[in-house]
Structure 1
Amino acid sequence: NYNVQNGDHPITRVVSTIYGDATWNIKEQLSYTPTDKFSITGRAGYFFRQLVRTTATPERYRDFTGGLRGVWTPTEADNFELTYAFDQYDKSDYQRIAKIDVRDYSNVQNSFRLLYNHNLNGGDVLSVGADYMHDYLLNVNLEGRTRKQDSFDAFTQYDWNINEQWEAVGALRYDYFSDGHISRVTPKISLRYQPIHNLNLRLSYGMGFRAPTLKEKYYNFDMAGIWIVEGNPALKPEVSHNFSLSTDYTHGHYNYTLTAYYNRIKDKLATGAPYYKRASDLIPHLPYLNLGGYSVCGGEASAQARWSNGITARLSYAYTDEHLPKDKNNNSVNNQYIPARKHAMTGHIDWDHQFVKNYGLNIGLDGRFLSSVDNQEFVDYYDISKGIRTIHYPAYALFKLAIVQRFSKSVKLSVALDNLFNYKPEYYYLNCPLTDGMNLQVGLSVDVDKLFKF
């Protein structure tokens, strides 16, 4: 943990301490191919993070993941996939004096997927599949402590190669969620036109659907005394209509892409503005709700190049115009979150070279620029009666220089300088980047199966 320095006379509450953490991340994957028509892949992973806000009770976060995937290809035209995935995410508080670890949150998901692909004459592809997931949520802040839900979906997609210039893809998907018996059918269609061999034009429409999660419906959590995050069992699923138009052109070492999009979401799931339920309340409530109307449009332009000397470069620009719903006083109904910054640029350049069989080197530079944005925020989130002020978040840029050395095929040593030009915000308001200047990162990765040649 370390403290950060703010400028004089901040107009709202600022962050003064940034909490560090210690993390472990272990994962492995093994594959077995008994025949040329059948293969099995197994994976397992473990993630651990400890965050110390108070010395006596560090917060611990764990994630256990695993899965099996079987692929059967009985003919050149047919392919079957059966997948099982397990994910358990836990949060606990370790009591140092008593030396006990008290778990107060657990989310366990068991999911299955069956997928069938059939390749037809002319390059057409028919895909049919289904998913099932059992979702279990334990939280000491839930009424009854636990919630369970089963979800199911079935989908089909047809990829039609009309001729050398035209391609169309159509899909239908059905979703069902047991909690509330929510279901929906959503379509998707896209067209691709290729007037010349290195130019593509694409147009697509897709309907989106998202049911409220168990957390959004039933959560009840005291967020560090700021407010009580409150679930809403009456939440409706959100439905979106998404349109996009894009083109890409490739010539020699270069590729150029232009994309424009418009998304309209009805009943968007989000948290609203905090409020006091009763005059006697000391802590406000922050409810989950459905936003009456939300839309976003924008575009992106990118250029990338890859040369035979090992240099790769990419530059992209994105424009985002977000429209959030307002209340009767023209205030955003969920103003604790910063609006999207309208302009963003990212850049990357790297050089990669394999000097000898057992040693290679990659040197890369990444940069990101975000434009300024204004947001209405509470003067004090611990006392919302103090009112709202407009906070100006200035434009900023962050750069990262990374060097990765490869020893044989199994060991990688990485060294990086993040925030290369030592950017520091003048005020650490709620939504500013939490960086206190340049920092050094060192990492080592070992690919076990390649190391021991399993």
Structure 2
Amino acid sequence: MFFIVSLIIGSVSVNAQVNPVDSANYDDFMDIINLDEVVVTSTRTEKKLMNTPVITQVITAKQIENRGFADIKNLLMQEVPGLSFQEVGFGTSINMQGLDAKHILFLIDGERIAGETGNNIDYSRLNLYNVDRIEIVKGAASAIYGSQAMGGVVNIITKNARKKVELNIGGRYGERNQRNYPNPSKESNQYKFQRNTDKPNLNGNISLGLNLGKLKSQTDVLYKSFDGYQLYDTDSITKYYPELDTTVIMNRVTTPSSISGYDDINISQKLSYTFNNRLKISLRGSYYELNKYDFTQNNKFENNVDFSYGAQLDYAINPASNLIFSYFSDNYERFDKYELIDGKDLSYKNNLIQPKILFSTTALRNQTLTTGIEFLQESLYGDKFESSQLEEKKQWNATAFVQDDWQIKEDLNLIGGIRVDYHEKYGWNASPKLSLLYRLFPFTMRLNYASGFRSPSLKELYMDWDHLGMFWIYGNENLKPEKNHYLSLSGEYVSSRLYATLTAYGNKFTDKIEGIWSNNQTELRYTNIGKTTLAGIEATARVKIVQGLFLNGMLNYLYSENEDGVRLTTASPLSGNMRLEYGFSKKNYNANFNLSGSFIGEKDYHVADEIEVNGVTREAFYEAHVPAYSMWNFAFTQNFYDAVRLTVGVDNLFDYKASIINFNTSTSPGRKFYVTMNLRVDELVNIFDIHKLIR
């Protein structure tokens, strides 16, 4: 915190006499901080980022390219304070401001995503190569997006062609994580297993965009592969039981923690046709297939297939009013696929159906009224329910919402709204929201209140599953929906050289649903735990030091406690991000240097366990401790003629490796180098045509 405060104070004093409106550098700085970006996620209507009362962060395609990121997890960890990912036994888990994936809603072009595991979506589906921008809204957004949006929304907006023809081809090659089987024998019945485990770290992408006036098309194809690896503990776990005042030092775990390898392909298509200035129709579809290769030599691997499709009709009733009809379906299936024989067996199927009607009008003076109705049906088919046989569970939810965006004065904006849901099991629920923006240039204040709710998931209600004899997960049909009240106050300062924000937030939950471990970490049972408080302070500062050189610092402090004083969240109380960025341009050439780091502070949390005391086994909480660490990345990106982009970089620059590997520590294998190249084929064609004309 001292670093952020010092940075802000020092920069304010340097810029005290700078008039940002008259500064020639102001537009250059605005490009870096994205305040002129038009966003839609926070209010469901187009609004410049600087003018939205709801706290929103934007990451653009240009920033993703310059910083060398290839997957959503590394990107968000380096760019969003208070957000982290962990590799857990069933895959990848996210945490943002003390809340996990069941409270954070991921969207692609405003639509929900099927195929969750442990409440987390399949993050490998999120293709950074076709991203136009990512909008991140922190805090309860249930009044706009319903259940699961209690902690925030991450909306990935995909690209649309701006020119007549846009053709991009690219690839990325990274250093291997680990070579487990250097010389697999084709004669061995383990040949496919060994080959798949050691897949190369390779990405290949192609993108074709057409803008032919009324007709627009966007086609994207991405292939990725990643080699699995195993990590070993180099230290032992110490357990302290406060209520017993007892410390137990465990033997060092000698079995490895395994991170599965994979390969996948992602194909997406968008089409739109504008009939006239009143009517437009859009179609979209995608196909995705993921093969996941673990280290279990049982001659089978996990195969995941997703198919989504949707349609949208935009109709302008008059110049001030617009009506949108949309339908979207996402279908995710998981199979056991075999290495030595043909065929596969279905083990999981998740389907979402989401029709919507949205109406917005600016007919009222200085107001934008938005209202809509939505329907969401989810079905889950799998073998993780009580019968241990393949079985289907379903639930549905219907919604109506209204929002009024009132521009009271040029410097005063008020947004109020309410969402009313009817859930087939839990009945009616109302979620109000209120957002206020007041600007006294160069300062902007934002005040937000929102109520949220989340109905229990199908797994939380009905799961009864034995995971390979290692642990058992039990659902609870008597669960009640979670509810929360979110309040935040934010201040923003912007000049030609400094952008700074300070946000205080609080999140009060009732009937929060948690999975509680017991019986020596072999049983997890879902239960409502009463009241939970999450609160924190988030500070950011982005400074333009000299022309082309920028320093960004972000810090998040989190307070979390249940009503009984037991701390169950595994989020670190203190986390932050820092980035030093330098760019320069010459004729037909520009370059960008990025050094970025994420800091995860030490954390202590309570774990339910069993301990033997005086010959009697009893349950008790022990304090788990994870030390602080930081992860740094470096990327050097060059652009030639705006047609060729070459990036070389290093992930985990300082080669950090955790001494104990578990669900709450880093699972990085260490320092890895990579190189990427992207060709804008349409620009190359233009260059060659110009050269021919010159000759």
Mapped contact 1:227–1:274 kept (Cα < 8 A): no
Q: Are positions 1:398 and 2:625 aligned together?
A: no
Residue in 1 that maps onto 2:3: none
User: How many pairs were matched up?
Assistant: 435
Q: 1:100 to 1:267 in 2, by over 3 A?
A: same
Residue in 2 that maps onto 1:80: 323
- Quick one: which of 466, 480, 486 aligns to 1:242? 486
**Superposition deviation, residue 368 in structure 1:** 0.6
What amino acid is the match of 1:90?
E
| Partners of 1:414 and 1:66 in 2: CA distance | 34
Residue in 2 that maps onto 1:315: 553
**Superposition deviation, residue 248 in structure 1:** 0.9
Q: Relative CO higher for 1 or 2, CA cutoff 8 Å, sep ≥ 6?
A: 2
What amino acid is the match of 1:437?
G
1:248-294 CA distance string (max 9 Å, x none): 11112321111101110000122123249xxxxxx943111111111
Residue in 2 that maps onto 1:417: 650
Q: Which has the higher strand share?
A: 1
- Quick one: which of 193, 208, 211 aligns to 2:438? 193
| Partners of 2:645 and 2:312 in 1: CA distance | 27
Residue in 1 that maps onto 2:458: 214
1:295-340 CA distance string (max 9 Å, x none): 11111111124689554542111110011354xxx755xx5xx532
Q: 1:60 to 1:311 in 2, by over 3 A?
A: farther
Alignment of 1:204-353 (within 5 A): 204-275=448-519, 284-305=522-543, 309-326=547-564, 339-352=570-583
Alignment of 1:360-375 (within 5 A): 361-375=591-605
| Partners of 1:124 and 1:305 in 2: CA distance | 35
Mapped contact 1:31–1:40 kept (Cα < 8 A): yes
Residue in 2 that maps onto 1:106: 349
Q: Matched residue of 1:58: which SS?
A: strand
Under a length normalisation based on structure 2, what TM-score does the superposition of the two structures give? 0.57
| Partners of 1:410 and 1:451 in 2: CA distance | 6
Q: 1:355 to 1:207 in 2, by over 3 A?
A: same
Q: Are positions 1:36 and 2:269 aligned together?
A: no
Residue in 1 that maps onto 2:286: 45
What amino acid is the match of 2:430?
V
What amino acid is the match of 1:396?
Y
Q: 1:81 to 1:342 in 2, by over 3 A?
A: same
| Partners of 1:414 and 1:28 in 2: CA distance | 27
**Superposition deviation, residue 452 in structure 1:** 11
| Partners of 1:163 and 1:260 in 2: CA distance | 25
1:115-160 CA distance string (max 9 Å, x none): 1111135421111111112211101122470012221111000112
* Structure 1 unmatched ranges of 5 or more: 277-282
Q: CA RMSD in A?
A: 3.2
Q: Are positions 1:182 and 2:420 aligned together?
A: no
| Partners of 2:303 and 2:492 in 1: CA distance | 45
* Structure 2 unmatched ranges of 5 or more: 1-227, 238-248, 612-616, 687-695
Under a length normalisation based on structure 1, what TM-score does the superposition of the two structures give? 0.85
Q: Matched residue of 1:217: which SS?
A: helix
| Partners of 2:592 and 2:461 in 1: CA distance | 47
| Partners of 1:149 and 1:448 in 2: CA distance | 47
| Partners of 2:608 and 2:394 in 1: CA distance | 36
| Partners of 1:36 and 1:411 in 2: CA distance | 37
Identity %, equivalent residues: 27
Q: Matched residue of 2:459: which SS?
A: helix
Mapped contact 1:321–1:340 kept (Cα < 8 A): no
Q: Matched residue of 2:518: which SS?
A: coil
What amino acid is the match of 2:629?
Y
Q: Matched residue of 2:234: which SS?
A: coil
| Partners of 1:407 and 1:101 in 2: CA distance | 47
Q: 1:254 to 1:25 in 2, by over 3 A?
A: farther
